[in-house]
Amino acid sequence: MWMSLPFEKCIQKVKTPFKLPKKEYLEQGRYPVVSQEAALISGYHDDANHLFNVGQPVVIFGDHTQVLKFIDFSFVMGADGVKILKPINDIDAKYFYYALTTLMPKGKGYARHYKLLKELNISFPPLAEQQRIVAKLDAAFAEIDKAIDAVNEKERQCLAMLKTTLNAIVSCSLNCDEEKPLGEVAKFLDYRGRTPAKSEAGVRLLTAKNVRMGYIKQEPLEYVTDDTYQQHMTRGLPRVGDVVITTEAPLGLVAQIENTDVALGQRLITLQTAEEEIKNSYLKYLLMAEVTQQKIHAAGTGATVKGIKASLLKKIPINFPKSLREQQKRADTLEAITQQGDSLLETLVKKCKELAQLKSAILAQELQPPQSEAA
> In terms of DSSP H, where are the helices of the chain?
93-103, 114-117, 127-170, 182-185, 226-232, 280-288, 290-299, 310-313, 324-366
Residue 171 lies in a domain: no
Single residue among 320, 335, 351 that ends a domain in this structure? 320
CB-neighbour burial class of residue 203 (10 A; exposed 0-12, middle 13-18, buried 19+): buried
- Could you give the number of structural domains in the chain? 3
pTM > 0.75: yes or no: no
Give the CATH number, domain containing residue 309: 3.90.220.20
Dihedral of alpha carbons 45, 50, 55, 56, sign: negative
Over the stretch 195-225, which tens digit does the pLDDT of each residue have?
889 999 999 999 999 999 888 988 889 999 9
Average pLDDT on 25-32 reads: 95
N-term to C-term CA, the chain: 12
**Lowest-confidence pick of 137-141, 238-242, 348-352:** 348-352
Single residue among 62, 92, 124 that ends a domain in this structure? 124
93 and 139 together in one domain: no
Residue 17 lies in a domain: yes
212 and 268 together in one domain: yes
Residue 189's domain spans which residues? Answer: 178-320
194 and 311 together in one domain: yes
Over the stretch 55-112, which tens digit does the pLDDT of each residue have?
899 999 999 999 999 999 999 999 888 999 999 999 999 999 999 998 888 876 667 8
212 and 290 together in one domain: yes
231 and 199 together in one domain: yes
In the chain, the amino acid numbered 261 is D
